[in-house]
Amino acid sequence: MQGNLEIVMKRVLLLFCLLISLPLGAWERLCEGVSIDRKIYEFGDIQLSEGPKECVFTLRNDGKKDWIINQVTTSCGCTQASWTKGVVKPGAQAAIKVTYKNDDGPYPFDKSLTLSVSASDKPFYLSIRGVCHDKPVPLSELYPIALGGGLAVKDREIKGGTLEQGGLRSECFLVANTSGKDLQLDFADAPAPLRFQGLPLLVPAGKTARVDFTVSADEALWGKNWYSFSPVVDGKKMKSTISIWAITQMNASSFTREQKHEGALPRFQGSSYSFGKKKTGDTFEVSFSFRNAGQADLCLYKFDLDKGVSDCRVVLSSGKKLAIGNPSALSSATKGGEVTVIRPGESATLTARINTKNLPKGEQLLMIRLITNSPMRPMVDLFAAGWVE
């Protein structure tokens, strides 16, 4: 009896801590006057026999003007949505109720919804996701990576999505408690752009829990960036780490149609390079020709390279090398004679080195991603394709 009382008291205390720790930042701004509690609902692992599953997205009017939900469109007939009809006044909330029929079979699912509100001319995108099983699967098999203290995850590397400068991205991931007792979860050493909501988190014995997080854009960080942190279980910091990665690109949301067309525009002669057959250990170069077909200066903030790709550089037709980075953080010309921008009409060649030493044998498709200041093409993906023997 005493043991049961202690368990109940522990859960009540943790729930209280969770409630008082929820920050206002848990709401994500969609547009002026409209915020949402989440853009993604994670059902986790469900059974086909459980039938339809439901969830709710909550919107809040934190502006000074009335607005309405115009429409919510689902990506397929397996998902249905209903929403608050009528005017949503300042300070009031509205709800979108989503029902997933759960009759597609035992597969992973990721369904999108398109939201239209009167406060914005552009649509917003929500999603529901999870994995459906036709029979029960042990928790230890669903979450095979043990981090210590009974805590387990499906993957140490978690996708945080794409965000724009000046904005943020909210996401979530699931954790499991494979032990026989409840655990309290927190995190340590998280870098500044990464914030968690609802910590400390109670994870019941033999159950899962959702971890909500937000990644904020940092002007010094472009492209793909990793944010690593350590789990803390029942007050003890684990040696294992988890990493979240997110991609930061240019924010052109406030640009008019004319401003977008007046911006820089990288135009490549081809987005793929075929290197044929190579042997393990071969090193060679691939190149892509392009020009700035826009009306403004073009700069490249960063290269994101797949494994095996390195030494990426851009040389203008004039022979000068392009400095990679935000021009505001670079001098107008570097000591080595580099330039910081590609002028309208100028041509250039991008060259990268590929080393097949650590690549698996077989067909290869290696990506080079450019992060640019182009409102029309803030990210450009190039591919080197071939075969390693």
Q: Convert the pLDDT of each residue in 191-243 to its tens digit.
A: 999 999 889 999 999 999 999 999 999 988 999 999 999 999 999 999 999 99
Using the predicted structure, report yes or no on whether residue 2 has a pLDDT greater than 70: no
**Helix, strand or coil, per DSSP, at residue 385:** strand
Contact, 175 vs 152, CB < 8 A? yes
The end-to-end CA distance of the chain, in Å, is 67
- Is the same domain home to 60 and 5? no
β-strands 168-177, 183-188 pairing: unpaired
Query: How far apart are alpha carbons 281 and 289 in whole angstroms?
Result: 26
Is 316 within the bounds of a domain?
yes
pLDDT for 330: 63
Is 162 within the bounds of a domain?
yes
CA atoms within 13 A on the CB side of 288: 27
Among the listed residues 217, 208, 160, 186, the one whose alpha carbon sits nearest the alpha carbon of residue 39: 160
- Is the same domain home to 187 and 234? yes
Query: How far apart are alpha carbons 177 and 78 in whole angstroms?
Result: 31
| Domains contained in the chain, number | 3
- Is the same domain home to 124 and 220? no
Is 342 within the bounds of a domain?
yes
Q: How confident is the model at residue 51 (pLDDT cuts 50, 70, 90)?
A: very high
Q: How confident is the model at residue 334 (pLDDT cuts 50, 70, 90)?
A: low
pTM of the model: 0.82
- Is the same domain home to 269 and 368? yes
Contact, 155 vs 205, CB < 8 A? no
Among the listed residues 307, 386, 316, 306, the one whose alpha carbon sits nearest the alpha carbon of residue 351: 316
CA atoms within 13 A on the CB side of 67: 26
- Is the same domain home to 233 and 279? no
CATH number of the domain encompassing residue 290: 2.60.40.10
Is 301 within the bounds of a domain?
yes
Region for residue 261 given its phi and psi (left: phi exceeds 0; alpha: psi -120 to 50; beta: otherwise)? alpha
- Is the same domain home to 37 and 181? no
- Is the same domain home to 268 and 369? yes
* Mean pLDDT along residues 184-189: 97
Is 49 within the bounds of a domain?
yes
Which of the listed residues 224, 249, 274 is the one where a domain comes to its end? 249
Contact, 378 vs 298, CB < 8 A? no
Domain containing residue 116: 32-135
pLDDT for 336: 57
- Is the same domain home to 99 and 173? no
* Mean pLDDT along residues 62-84: 95
- Is the same domain home to 108 and 149? no
Which of the listed residues 75, 105, 135 is the one where a domain comes to its end? 135
Among the listed residues 193, 225, 217, 220, the one whose alpha carbon sits nearest the alpha carbon of residue 330: 220
Which of the listed residues 71, 100, 135 is the one where a domain comes to its end? 135
- Is the same domain home to 229 and 143? yes
